[in-house]
Each structure stands twice: as structure tokens, then as C-alpha cells.
A and B are shown apart, each in its own frame.
Chain A
Amino acid sequence: MDYRITHLKQLESEAIFVLRETAAQFEKPVLLFSGGKDSIVMAYLAKKAFWPAKLPFPLMHVDTGHNFPETMEYRDRFVKDLGAELIVASVQEAIDQGKVVEETGVNASRNSLQTVALLEGLENGQFDAALGGGRRDEEKARAKERFFSHRDAFGQWDPKNQRPELWNVFNGKKHHGEHFRVFPLSNWTEMDIWQYIKLENIALPELYFSHERECFVRNGVIMAVTEFTQPQPEETVEKMQVRFRTIGDTTCTGANVSSASDLDAIIDEVAAARNTERGTRADDKRSESAMEDRKKQGYF
């Protein structure tokens, strides 16, 4: 008898183990749900981990207010099907209350303001662990992230002083006021995510599949025309056949020209891709250590 399991089943089993350790080791965890494919897979795995009981923690959406309407529809339907509680941490509220100042100008993005809303959402809910869908293959600062990532009372990440993590023995012990970020999908790649979505037949927002929409090109990135992203006079709008490889805030999420309209086509496309998925994320292009700097400040 050959007792082997495939790479996807190994990753699944590892993620479920991490989700259960989080529920067991912390008093009040929360799962960060953006409506993007990684957080969808993570929430789906959480359902698997605790079935037939409901999730032992709520979901939290850090809402920049600049969403694609499709994401919001999907989010509400998904959360209802899951039977989970949803908490919304609003960047708009933080702006209205004067806690943060919005960037101005053509390329203004609320991405960096997410950190404030996130930290406040965690504090308001007194959450001591936040589950995130981050993957180590996304970006080089993430390649050194732990499954259980310790944050001080200010939510900061100290990359030089991370706890060693051996085997699958996770140390979630902490002092009052400190908290953890937990990444069950650490070892997954973009390809693994897509293959798993296909294997488990998980429904996704339509934005991930090829569709026609009005777009314009800015700094080499294809931007969708939305309420929040309007073309400048010199930028021309045209109808394009596109899909999104990642879904974030509309102001920093670029589209890809693509005819991939089903999962098989997307898997083929990912296999042939020569650019990383974050290559269309304007927020990472700001500098070589943009991600590391944001993480140190408490970003995911």
C-alpha cells in the first residue's frame, strides 16, 4: 500500500492544522477576508477545519471603500453561505473621523491607510490573532515570514527578531497587548491556489474570469474605469477583454488582457505567465522594500 498524498492535499492538511492551532492557542482570533481568491481559499479551508461546526471566529473585511461592486456582492453571498459573522473595518470611517489623511493626486491610493483601519479593527474587537491569506511566494519580504508571526503592541513586525519555527510546532505565547498574524497559506503558490480552486470547485468572483470592460493605461498598468479610478484627459478609454489576477482596492489593482474565461484556461495562463501576479499591483512598485516597510508598520 502506498500511503502518499498529493502536493495539494499536503498543503490542505498543513493549512487546516494551522487554522486549528490558531483557534486553540488564541483567545480571540479573526480571519481577514478581502474577497480575493487567497482569502476565499483560506475561509473555505477554515470551513473544512471545523466542519460540521461553524467557524469558531468571525471574518473581518478591511474595507477601503474603493471596491469593485462584484467583490462586495460576492463577499456578502459567501459569508451568508458560510454562516459566519462579518465585521467591517472601514477606512472611510477612519478618514471621516480624522484618524488618517487621505493621499491626494492622480495616483492616490488608500492602500497604506488599510493598516490604520486594520489595527483599529483588531483593537476594537480585542482580537489577539489575525489570520491572513499571505503567501511566501508573493514577494521577497514575505519569503521570510513565519506561519505564526509575532507583532508587538504597536502591530509592528521585526524581521530580525522572529521566533524560530520548527517542524509544525507553533509557539503562539504572548504578553498582554501583543498579537499574532497567522498565515495558513504560507507554502502555497499562485498555481497551487488555482489548482485547489479547481480541485474543490470553489466559486469565485467574476472579476477573475475574462470579461469586457472599459479600461485605460496608466504607468504601464491597465486600470479599470470605476467610480474611484477615472482617466485623466490625456488617457484614452477603450473596451478591453481583461481579467484580474489579484483583487484589491480598485485604485491599485491592475487588469491583464486575457481571454481566459474558465479555470482550465486560467491554469494554463498562470503556467505560461512571465510576470508575478503582484506585477500589476501599483502599491508594490513604489520601492524595492515597499512591502517590508509596510509590513513593519503593521500591514499584512
Chain B
Amino acid sequence: MSEKENNSGYLDMDLLRFTTAGSVDDGKSTLIGRLLYDSKAIFEDQLEAVEKSSKSRGDENVNLALLTDGLRSEREQGITIDVAYRYFATPKRKFIIADTPGHIQYTRNMVTGASTANLAIILVDARKGVIEQTCRHAFIANLLRIQNVVVCVNKMDLVDWDQAVFDKIVSEFKSFASRLDNLINITFIPASALLGDNIVDKSENMGWYNGPTLLYHLETVYNGSDFNHIDARFPIQWVVRPHSDKYHDFRGFAGRIAGGVFKPGDAVKVLPSGFESKIKSIHLMDEELKEAYSPMSVVMTLEDEIDISRGNMLVKANNPPKMLQDIEAMVCWFSSTKSLSGRGKFIVRHTTNDVQAIVSEVKYKVNINTLHKIEDDLELKLNDIGRISIRTSAPLFVDSYSKNRITGSIILIDPLTNETVAAGMII
């Protein structure tokens, strides 16, 4: 390959967002450190800084966790508090890692990291097998509809590279995951992040394993199913009115396509007004597009002059979303200062819409370690997950979260503090 060709390879690269969850000692930092280091995403000055601080902390080895623990209080306490975003790329793909702590008290961070992920890596310590934490991570991946899951059975070096250990973990995990219906593609990889086996290079210690290495899997896994290309949804963010001589009559509707495919000439319907028109043109600056689909940001113009503003949605008349004021959702509670029992007033934000809302009922909570329903304690507190009923002051144009992650998600805002207190997936 010539220099020039090599240089234009990025024009074909796609993007994979994945999340990792794990606790202090399951080797998550080592795993991420290795992926970053082996793909040259860690620079020498960063490594030097980490070596320096490891030494001054009295750590025996270079502590790769210091690369990801960015906040002073995290370094002081030796724990990861918040979601950290990390980046690396291979010639095939760019990767965004949402690195989240795995302890139960950080459920909200795992949910946050999972909300934008196409894939989840669940780390299992080969010596410990499938434990409560594994189930919790799998449950969250399922709840946030991450279809691709990699179960990385780490520390295989500490169980003598034994296939029987690996097989037992595979069958235990499968038996648990059979109750989780969104996990469509589960891949099991035996590995040692510390020694590098099956992370980037194939292990020489586990001849019995014929599957991919972790990096090869991340580079090649099918990554097209997370955007909905069937149900046309275009939430309006902003109305573009140039008021210039050249574009005197231009009225464009700006937004990011949340689902489906739009083409000039397509008949569209405006929600909530119900007016119908045809798409005249689709723009991305001076480019005129023949079609546009999720997740593209574009400006559309219509054949007819219709009153449309932020919060409205363009859809296809034969396939509209539901217009609802009564919404059922699974929520994860985020606030440490405000809990919810029974009823409560909130602002619901959904796509580009804000509405007043009342939570009318907490139906049940879920024990995320066992998947059991809890019906005798209905107070939603920090890190709790439960099902609620919401009544909104105006209709929202929604799909179920399992059909569309964008039109199926909401956040709840406390009107007094303006804090985001919960995130919800519409049922």
C-alpha cells in the first residue's frame, strides 16, 4: 500500500462505541490499558506521568488505572467514580470506550455508559466465575438494549488455561442470559489481559480456543443494527430562516434523523398538527442530499408552507409513532438527594420536547442481581431500577425503546433543582 492510499483509509472507517464495566480487581483497567497501549493510543508522556505517579504512590507495578482515573479524588481513593471516555483507533475502526465502575453503587454510571454503546464487554474473573456483578452487568446491557455482548473470561493464566473452567462459565452465563431477550449476539473469549493472551494477539496457551481475539472481534463485529432505518422519525430541533436576499423564502427544518430514511419527494406528516406535505429538498450546507437516514444531521425544506417549530416531528403518514400522554417506562434513578415514592412532579425531556409530567405510580422495582421484582418497597432511590407510570401535560411522539433508542428514551428533570433525576426507557 502506498503512503497516499494508507492515508485515505479513514474515509472507510466506521465507529464502534462500547462500554466496559468492572470493579477494582477484575483487571478492567489492565484490559483497557492494553487495548490503548497496543493500539498506540497511549502516548509516551502519558505513560511517563503514570510511571511517575505509580512510583510516588508506592505501587509495585505501573498502575494503568491511573491513566483512566482522571480526577484527583479518584486517584486519592484508588477508585473510578465517574464514566470516563477513552478513544483509540485501528485502520478499520474508531472506538469510543465508556469506561464505568462496576460496583452496585455506581449503577447509574453503568447505565449512562451503556446508553450510547453498541457493544458491552463484561469481564469475568476466571477464578470467581459468574457472580452477582456479572449478572448485574448483563442485566444493564439488556435493559439499555445493547445487542452485542462480549463476555471476556479474564485471568485464565491463574486457572492454568483450563478449558473446563471456561466452558463452565460459558454455560452458567448462558443459563442466566436466557432470561434477557435483548442480548442477541453473545461472544465468549478466554483471555489474560495482564499477559496479553487473546486481547490483541492470539494466545499460545489455549490451543483449544478457535475463536477471535478481543480486538479482532471489536474490529469486525457487525455494527449496523443500532440505528432504526425502518420507521421514519425526524424531530425538529431548530427552524432555519436566513432572512437574506439570496435565500429570502428559505424555511428549513433542522434536526438529526432519529429513524428511517427520508428522500426528496417523500410524503410526510407533521406531528402534532397532522398537516401533510412533501419533502422538497434535504441539505447539509451546500450539499443537496438524495436521501438521509439516522443518525445524520440535516436541514429539510417542504413543498408547502406549514407552521412547524421545535419539538414537532416529521414522520411518514402510514407509519407514525404513538402519540401518548400516558407513558410506561423502566427508569434508573440518578439522584442522591431526591427519591420518589408514589407521586411526583417532573419535567420530561423526550427528543427535542419538554413537557410537565406527573409520575402517578411506581409499579415495582427490580433486584438487579436476581432479576426478581420487588413489590413491597416502592421508593425509588439512587441506583434503583423500576417501572413507573407517567402522565404528561402534552402528548409525546414515542416508540418503544426496543424499537428505537432515540424516540424511546426520556429523562426526568426535577423542576426545583433542574437536576436530571432519572433516565427512562419507554415500554
Chain A residues in the interface with B (C-beta under 8 A): 2-14, 16-17, 20-21, 23-24, 47-54, 136-137, 139-144, 159-160, 162-169, 171, 173-175, 186-187, 189, 191-192, 195, 199, 264, 267-268, 273-276, 279, 288-289, 292
Contacts and interface: CB of A to CB of B under 8 A. Distances in A.
Contact of B286 (A51, A173, A174): A51
B96 A187 contact: yes
B184 interface: no
B278 interface: no
Contacts of A279: 43, 45
Contacts of A48: 284-285
B237 A24 contact: yes
Contacts of B108: 164
Given A143-B86, A279-B43, A289-B72, A20 B237 contact: yes
B371 interface: no
A143 B84 contact: yes
Contacts, number: 193
22 contacts: A3-B294, A6-B11, A6-B13, A8-B10, A8-B11, A17-B297, A24-B237, A51-B240, A53-B240, A53-B241, A143-B85, A144-B83, A144-B84, A144-B85, A160-B81, A164-B334, A166-B115, A166-B423, A167-B115, A168-B406, A189-B89, A191-B10
A168 B284 CA distance: 20
Contacts of B85: 136, 143-144, 186-187
B352 interface: yes
Contact of B295 (A13, A52, A139, A288): A13
Interface string B252-281: 101110000100000000000000000000
Contacts of A53: 240-244, 247
B70 A143 contact: yes
B343 to A, nearest CB: 21
Contacts of A2: 224
Contacts of A16: 256, 297
Contacts of A140: 67-70, 84
B9 to A, nearest CB: 10
Nearest to B84: A143
B250 A171 contact: no
B45 to A, nearest CB: 4
Contacts of A6: 10-15
B55 interface: no
Contact of A49 (B116, B295, B297): B297
B295 A144 contact: no
A136 B250 CA distance: 37
Contact of A7 (B44, B84, B93): B93
Contacts of A191: 10, 89
A46 to B, nearest CB: 11
B168 interface: no
B420 interface: yes
Which of B109, B227, B240, B334 has the most chain A CB within a 10 Å cutoff?
B240
A24 B108 CA distance: 27
A167 B261 contact: no
Interface of B: 3-4, 7, 10-15, 40, 43-46, 49, 53, 67-73, 75, 81-87, 89, 93-94, 96, 108-109, 111-112, 115-116, 224, 227, 229, 237-238, 240-244, 246-247, 250, 252, 254-256, 261, 283-286, 293-297, 299, 310, 334, 347, 349-352, 405-406, 409-411, 413, 418-420, 423
B310 to A, nearest CB: 6
A85 B386 CA distance: 49
Contacts of B420: 163-165, 171
A112 B67 CA distance: 25
Contact of A162 (B82, B283, B350): B82
Contacts of B82: 144, 159, 162
Contacts of B350: 169
Contacts of A275: 43-45
A144 B111 CA distance: 15
Nearest to A200: B285
B12 A4 contact: no
Contact of B418 (A50, A168, A173, A273): A173
A164 B116 CA distance: 13
A6 B89 CA distance: 13
Pick the 4 closest A-B CB pairs, nearest first: A140-B70, A7-B15, A16-B297, A166-B115
A191 B91 CA distance: 12
A148 to B, nearest CB: 10
Contacts of A23: 238
Contact of A13 (B46, B111, B296): B296
Which of B13, B285, B297 has the most chain A CB within a 10 Å cutoff?
B297
Contact of B44 (A17, A169, A195, A274): A274
B409 A52 contact: no
A162 B82 CA distance: 9
Contacts of A141: 70-71
B241 to A, nearest CB: 6
A276 B81 CA distance: 25
A167 B405 contact: yes
Contacts of B71: 141, 144, 159-160, 292
A174 B420 CA distance: 11
A50 B93 CA distance: 30
B411 A12 contact: no
Contacts of B410: 169
Contacts of A51: 240, 283, 285-286, 299
B347 A5 contact: no
B261 A3 contact: yes
Given A143-B68, A288-B53, A24 B310 contact: yes
Contacts of B13: 6-8
A166 B409 CA distance: 9
A65 to B, nearest CB: 29
B156 to A, nearest CB: 30
